[in-house]
Chains A and B, each alone.
Chain A
Amino acid sequence: EVHLVESGGDLAQPGGSLRLSCAATGFTFTAHSMNWVRQAPGKGLEWISYINDGSNAIYYADSIRGRFIISRDNAKNMLYLQMNSLRVEDTAVYYCARDYSWTYTIDFWGQGTLVTVSS
C-alpha cells in the first residue's frame, strides 16, 4: 500500500527556514516523479514543485522559485523541500504527492504537514 508521510512542518518566523521531508513506502520510489502541493488555510490547491525520478528535471511555481529547493534521496525513499526566506503567505499545509507515471497527474497524496509563518 502506498504511503507518503510528511514531516517538518512547524512555526517559523518571516525570513526563516524549514526543511520538509516526505517518507515514501509501499511502492518503487525510483519509478515515480514527485511533487509538492500546498493549500493555504481555507483556500484552494497550489502546485509548487516537481522533481523527476533522476532529479534531472525540476520545476517550480513562480511563487517559490529562488527560495525553495526540491530534492530527493532515492536510496532512502525520501523527498525533501528546503524552504528559505519564508513569508507569511507561505503559511499552508504542504502535501507530498506522487506522480502517476506517464499520465501527468497526481495519484497519491500524503496527509500533509502544516507550515505556519508568523512573527
Chain B
Amino acid sequence: DIVMTQTPLSSSVTLGQSAYISCKSSESLGHSDGHTYLSWFHQRPGLPPRLLIYKVSSRFSGVPDRLSGSGAGTDFTLEISRVEVEDVGVYYCMQAKQFPWTFGQGTKVEIK
C-alpha cells in the first residue's frame, strides 16, 4: 500500500498569513496515463470532508483561489494564502494512483 505522510500534524496560523501543508507518498504517484492522482480535502468538526484540490493542482468547483496545490512524484504541498477563520479544520491528502486509496494522517489548522 502507498503510505501518505503529512507534515505538520498541526499548525497555528495568524489570520491573513499563509499556511503550508506537506504530503509525501511512499512511492511516486505518477500514473501510467500521465496524470497524478493526489487530492486534498478539508474537514470541519462534525461535518464530512469536502474536496478542495484534485490531480495535484486542479481546484474543485467553488474553492477559492487562495488555496492551491502543487508538487510531483512523491512530494506535494497545499498552500492556504491569506488564512481566514473558515479555513480552520483538518486537511487530508489522498492518493488514488492505486487501490487501496490511502489518506494522510491529517493536519489540523487553527487560528493563532
Neighbour of A45 across the interface among B54, B60, B99, B103, CB < 8 A: B103
Instruction: Decide if the interface of chain B is mainly helix, strand, loop or mixed.
Output: loop
Asked whether, in the complex, the Cβ of A107 is within 8 Å of the Cβ of B60, the reply is yes
**Residue B20, interface by CB 8 Å:** no
B55 at the A interface (CB under 8 A)? yes
- Total chain A interface residues with beta-carbon distance under 8 A: 22
Interface readout for B26-39 with A: 1 if CB under 8 Å, 0 if not?
00000000010101
Check A109–B48 contact: CB distance below 8 A: yes
A45 touches B51 (CB 8 A): no
Interface of A is mostly: strand
Q: Contact string, A73-117, partner B, CB cutoff 8 A, digits 1/0?
A: 000000000000000000000010000100111111111100000
Interface residues, chain B, CB within 8 Å of chain A?
1, 35, 37, 39, 41, 43, 47-51, 54-55, 58, 60, 90, 92, 94, 96-97, 99-106
